Amino acid sequence: MDFTLSAEQLMIKDSVDRYAAGNHGADDWATFAGLGWLGIGAPEELGGFGGPTETMIVMEAFGRGLVTEPYVAHVVLAGGVLSVAGRNDLLEPLVEGKRRFAVAYEEPHARYEPAAVETNAKRDGSSYVLTGRKVRVLGAAPADTLIVSARTGDDVTLFAVPSGANGLKRTSYASEDGHDASAITFENVRVGAGDMIGDSGTGLALLEAALDRATAALCAEGVGLMSVMLNMTVEYTKQRRQFGVPIASFQALQHRMAEMFMELELARSMSYVAAMTLESETEADARKRGISAAKVQIARSGRFIGQSAIQLHGGIGMSEEYKVGHYFKRMTAVERLLGDTDYHLARYIAARDARPVRELVHS
């Protein structure tokens, strides 16, 4: 299969590489809008273009540059929900950079499973009243609208809820790598029927499709993180001297770095698999298998490369002043975001055998 990038994809790669390598700030959303990155995966009539491959290009560069903007949370995950649901009225201001959305789906008991929803939406005339709690909501602080999953009877439905709605309480905190996350409580939050995203009861399918897009994006970010950790380790061992020679000349360390390189290339291949799965698969179980397989390999490779990088750097690798530790922190977060290894292994088996994920996660 030909993995050569097109001329348009090379232009995206060049622009995002230059941004990620520069002095990017903490709030560069207007820059993203101006460069068109907020429109990746959106319909052409809204100014959108590209899809999973273009997202992979952007996220791998963001991993290399340790970019902290919540691109996955707002563009890939929330934008994915709106795109799959056909809500162009909400997607257009997102593409233009005028509105930002965050997805609130995970609950304290859920262990990553989007179907485990206890937040309730009761019909009250022409409105719905939401009650419940969400945890680990990514990018909620700068978002003006939350996409919330809630039970409408036996089904799951998504609602667009203004972040300043009465009865909504948000508690923000910094995750282990410094990124924004929030716990959100809904106490009789009222929304209109027009705030429903998709049809009643279609929320789980919309959410799973968008989560697979976001998971593939995290896989690409992980590849970018791993590539920097490997390159920094190789350069450090060339400069660090022991017994009068660079430690890169020691055969045992050469073997370890060769193993790191093989893990990186395996992870890169699985990131390609994730993008290709999204490009080609329309059947839900096949898509889930491809994405979960990629996430498992990214997590395993990232842990091996990160731990090896810290070990080969020695004490300096653990210091706040040295960047390799920050890359490993982010890699550790990526390993757990949107489902850890145990969850995605269970999800892969569930998609293969047509079994409930929670039955396997809790077994």
Establish if 74 belongs to a structural domain.
yes
Establish if 57 belongs to a structural domain.
yes
The answer to whether 256 and 308 have CB atoms below 8 angstroms apart is yes
Q: Do 80 and 126 lie in a common domain?
A: no
Look at strands 101-104 and 145-152 and give their pairing.
parallel
Q: Which of these, 18, 325, 249, lies nearest to 10 by C-alpha position?
A: 18
CATH classification of the domain holding 53: 1.10.540.10
- Can you tell me which residue has the tokens 């719905």? 128
CATH classification of the domain holding 114: 2.40.110.10
Using the 3D structure, point to which of 154, 176, 199 is the last residue of a domain: 199
Which burial class, exposed, middle or buried, applies to 330 when counting CB atoms under 10 A from its CB (0-12, 13-18, 19+)? buried
Q: Do 242 and 294 lie in a common domain?
A: yes
Q: Do 65 and 143 lie in a common domain?
A: no
Q: Do 164 and 264 lie in a common domain?
A: no
Q: Do 48 and 108 lie in a common domain?
A: no
Residue 234 scores a pLDDT above 90:
yes
Calculate ∠ Cα 60-216-22, nearest 5°: 20
Q: Do 258 and 283 lie in a common domain?
A: yes
210 φ, ψ (degrees, to nearest 5): -70, -40
pLDDT number for residue 315: 83
Q: Do 37 and 139 lie in a common domain?
A: no
Domain of 353, in residue numbers: 204-361
The answer to whether 118 and 106 have CB atoms below 8 angstroms apart is no
Q: Do 132 and 208 lie in a common domain?
A: no
Using the 3D structure, point to which of 98, 127, 148 is the last residue of a domain: 98
pLDDT number for residue 178: 76
- Torsion (CA) 15, 20, 26, 29 in degrees, nearest 10: 20
**Residues 322, 327, 328, 330, CA torsion sign:** positive
Q: Is the pTM of this model over 0.85?
A: yes
Q: Do 209 and 342 lie in a common domain?
A: yes
Q: Do 45 and 187 lie in a common domain?
A: no
pLDDT number for residue 358: 64
Establish if 23 belongs to a structural domain.
yes
Span 243-258, average pLDDT: 93
Compute CA distances 127 → 118, 120, 165, 186, 313, whole Å.
19, 13, 14, 15, 58
Q: How many domains does the chain have?
A: 3
Q: Do 219 and 323 lie in a common domain?
A: yes
Establish if 167 belongs to a structural domain.
yes
Establish if 1 belongs to a structural domain.
no
Alpha carbon distance 43, 213 (integer Å): 15
Establish if 2 belongs to a structural domain.
no
Alpha carbon distance 135, 186 (integer Å): 12
- pLDDT, tens digit (0-9, with 9 covering 90-100), for 118-139: 999 999 988 999 999 999 999 9
- pLDDT, tens digit (0-9, with 9 covering 90-100), for 45-90: 999 999 999 999 999 999 999 998 999 999 999 999 999 999 999 9
Q: Do 51 and 112 lie in a common domain?
A: no
In the structure encoding, which two tokens stand for residue 2, read together?
A: 């030909």
Beta strands in the chain (DSSP E): 101-104, 120-124, 127-138, 145-152, 155-162, 168-174, 180-192, 196-197, 241-242, 245-246
Report H helices in 158-202: none
Average pLDDT across the chain, whole number? 92
Using the 3D structure, point to which of 165, 199, 233 is the last residue of a domain: 199
pLDDT number for residue 1: 55
Which burial class, exposed, middle or buried, applies to 313 when counting CB atoms under 10 A from its CB (0-12, 13-18, 19+)? buried
pLDDT number for residue 321: 84
- pLDDT, tens digit (0-9, with 9 covering 90-100), for 161-185: 999 999 999 999 888 777 889 999 9
CATH classification of the domain holding 345: 1.20.140.10
